[in-house]
């Protein structure tokens, strides 16, 4: 086995995992198309229901205006909308007395691609939270359709703001929504207080319906759409749905989060929801600004006739450290490795992220921080990498003798394998030594793939020709789309592929055996596969890969030409051959298998 085979082993494993990733990310494309049709039918049905409800509501308003009272909730049914804006250092929230809830939420520290501020809740979309209440015998109304009294606002000395909405209701029953806005916090407390719960809620059950529509916050909707999902914590265990369209909760629920690539909206229950379900529809069109729609249904029980339920809203970025303090398991909203790639999460949590943040304390440019991170990773893996280069040098030194073995065996591959293994054993060479760098790439690549995809700190950060390290750089917009490649050329991705190609060529030059045609073509096949995958990756990742490959090329050149003495290695190999050797058991079994195969082929040839 030469260095090219060892490199190929690593690249094949890497390519296999990349293929699995792409397969799992796209296997539901046909299902998504069906969902789109179902979604259109569902929206049409919902629209008809809404139109019918509006007719009923208009009829009720007419009756209220004429003095024909049906329920005692006259003012709540026939009121008018009043808005109020409240801000802290991080959030700007527009509250509405219709439903007594936030109508718009703006993040003051984050901008969109058009330089406007990120708006997590948009009044132009159908975002709302509601629950039904009994307004009369056999009559119910959704709280989102009722008008609360105008809000009361209180401000404390520390900057905390308390907004209170009370619902006009008959004597003996009341509903109050209180929101607490803390200074410098993305968390908003929501306290729901009620009296006469037995009259308002059937069997004291609170059934919350949260309808959330998401629109893009990144310039390229394709990538953000693929990373949009719904996360939740049930029985204090994190889980999520991405390709699935529904989830039923069978255990207590701590929180549910509608998650985009870099932002999320989360509803947290201080004392758990008892159950519920989710319907999730991802937008399948790449031309739409919409990412998806989530309908979340949650249940909890009011403990008595007079009770207060404590909830929290989180409106903010997918920042690991902020989310870790916000609620149990909420840090796992940040995808640092999930499912079959969960093995890289500890690498990100305990190595990549701390080192990245440490360098950023001293360096403002995130492009330079990534370069320093790359140098750190290469330094950390240098002992193993050096041993692999040394193994490659030994293999190169054995090339003349392997050429002699080829002539001696006359093209008999089985015999060549046996003789080559004997030569390696006599010379003290480990033919698998060159696999280490390629194998090391697998966990590191996928760790950084997750880290750069989910790191909100990179969002909007320019470097060299890239305008934003969190998305792919575009140096040429082609005006047409190449399947699997895209409609643009990413220079960082191109450089990463070119340097990978040079590394493969260098590995081929080091190999003692180039008789296998697959090995000869592999340096040309792998770059094409990488280019198709890399062209839509974040510039941060392809920049890292480019730097890492350049370091590899420099190290290979320096070690081979200035550090390793090939004559000395050859002399040492000759000395090793004169020493008595004991075969490892695995090698004995391997040679026995080769001999058995050879005998079988010989017997077949005779017959």
Contact (Cβ atoms closer than 8 angstroms) between residue 448 and residue 441 = no
> Domains in the chain and their CATH numbers?
3-24+345-595 (no CATH), 69-334 (2.70.98.90)
Q: What global pTM score does this model have?
A: 0.77
By the 10 Å C-beta count (0-12 exposed, 13-18 middle, 19+ buried), 422 is classed as middle
List the one residue out of 131, 63, 135, 58 whose CA is nearest residue 99: 131
At residue 359, φ and ψ (nearest 5 deg) are: -65, -35
Q: State pLDDT tens for residues 276-330.
A: 999 999 887 777 788 889 999 999 998 888 889 999 999 999 999 999 999 899 9
Tokens standing for residue 437: 């760098």
Q: What single-letter DSSP state applies at residue 150?
A: P
Strand partners, 191: 178, 310
pLDDT of residue 243: 82
Q: State pLDDT tens for residues 191-249.
A: 999 998 888 888 889 999 999 998 888 888 878 888 899 999 999 999 998 888 889 99
HEC sequence for 325-379? HHCCCHHHHCCCCCHHHHHHHHHHHHHHHHHHHHHHCCCCCHHHHHHHHHHHHHH
Contact (Cβ atoms closer than 8 angstroms) between residue 472 and residue 452 = no
pLDDT of residue 67: 38
Separation between Cα atoms, residue 75 and residue 101, nearest integer Å? 17
Q: List the helix and strand counts (H, then E) for the chain.
A: 18, 22
Query: pLDDT below 50 — which residues of the chain?
Result: 1-4, 26-30, 32-33, 37, 40, 46, 49, 52-71
Q: What single-letter DSSP state applies at residue 92?
A: E
**What sign for the dihedral angle of Cα 425, 428, 434, 436?**
positive
Strand partners, 119: 106
Give the CB-side neighbour count of residue 360, counting CA atoms within 13 A.
12
Strand partners, 316: 264
pLDDT of residue 231: 94
């Amino acid at each position: 086995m030469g260095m090219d085979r060892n490199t190929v082993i690593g690249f094949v494993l890497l390519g296999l995992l990349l293929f699995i990733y792409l397969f799992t990310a796209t296997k539901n494309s046909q299902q998504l198309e069906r969902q789109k049709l179902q979604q259109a039918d569902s929206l049409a049905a919902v629209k008809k229901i809404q139109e019918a409800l509006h007719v009923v509501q208009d009829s009720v308003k007419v009756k209220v205006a004429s003095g024909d009272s049906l329920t005692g909730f006259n003012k709540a049914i026939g009121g008018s909308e009043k808005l109020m804006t409240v801000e802290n250092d991080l959030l700007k929230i527009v509250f509405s007395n219709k439903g007594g809830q936030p109508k718009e939420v703006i993040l003051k520290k984050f901008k969109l691609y058009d330089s406007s501020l990120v708006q997590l809740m948009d009044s132009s979309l159908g975002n709302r939270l509601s629950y039904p209440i009994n307004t009369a015998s056999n009559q119910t109304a959704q709280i989102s359709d009722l008008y609360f009294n105008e809000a009361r606002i209180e401000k404390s000395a520390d900057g905390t703001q308390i907004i209170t909405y009370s619902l006009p209701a008959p004597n003996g029953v009341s509903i109050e929504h209180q929101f607490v806005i803390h200074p410098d916090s993305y968390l908003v407390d929501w306290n729901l207080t009620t009296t006469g719960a037995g009259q308002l809620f059937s069997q004291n059950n609170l059934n919350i319906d949260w309808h959330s529509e998401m629109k893009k916050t990144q310039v390229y909707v394709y990538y953000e759409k693929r990373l949009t999902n719904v996360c939740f914590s049930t029985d204090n265990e994190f889980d999520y749905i991405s390709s699935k369209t529904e989830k039923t909760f069978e255990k207590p629920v701590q929180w549910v989060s509608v998650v985009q690539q870099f932002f999320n909206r989360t509803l947290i229950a201080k004392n758990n929801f008892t159950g519920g379900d989710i319907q999730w529809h991802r937008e399948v069109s790449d031309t739409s600004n919409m990412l998806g729609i989530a309908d979340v249904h949650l249940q909890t029980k009011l403990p008595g006739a007079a009770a207060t339920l404590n909830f929290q809203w989180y409106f903010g970025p997918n920042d690991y450290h902020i989310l870790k303090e916000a609620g149990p398991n909420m840090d796992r909203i940040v995808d640092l490795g999930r499912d079959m790639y969960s093995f890289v999460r500890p690498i990100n949590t305990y190595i990549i992220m701390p080192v990245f943040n440490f360098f950023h304390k001293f360096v403002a440019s995130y492009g330079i921080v990534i370069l320093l991170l790359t140098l750190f990773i290469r330094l950390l893996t240098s002992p193993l990498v050096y041993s692999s280069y040394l193994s490659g040098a030994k293999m190169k030194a054995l090339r003349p003798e392997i050429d002699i073995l080829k002539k001696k065996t006359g093209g008999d591959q089985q015999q060549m394998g046996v003789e080559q293994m004997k030569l390696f054993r006599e010379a003290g060479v480990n033919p698998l030594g060159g696999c280490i760098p390629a194998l090391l790439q697998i966990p590191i690549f996928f760790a950084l793939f997750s880290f750069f995809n989910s790191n909100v700190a990179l969002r909007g950060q320019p470097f060299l020709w890239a305008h934003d390290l969190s998305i792919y750089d575009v140096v040429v917009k082609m005006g047409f789309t190449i399947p699997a490649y895209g409609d643009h050329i990413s220079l960082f991705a191109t450089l990463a592929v070119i340097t990978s190609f040079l590394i493969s060529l260098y590995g081929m030059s080091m190999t003692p055996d180039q008789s296998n045609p697959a090995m000869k073509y592999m340096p040309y096949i792998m770059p094409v596969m990488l280019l198709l995958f890399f062209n839509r990756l974040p510039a941060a990742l392809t920049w890292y890969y480019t730097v890492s490959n350049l370091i590899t090329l420099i190290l290979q050149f320096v070690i081979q030409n200035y550090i390793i003495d090939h004559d000395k290695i050859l002399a040492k190999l000759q000395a090793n051959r004169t020493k008595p050797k004991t075969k490892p058991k695995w090698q004995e079994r391997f040679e026995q298998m080769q001999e058995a195969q050879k005998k079988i082929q010989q017997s077949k040839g005779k017959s």
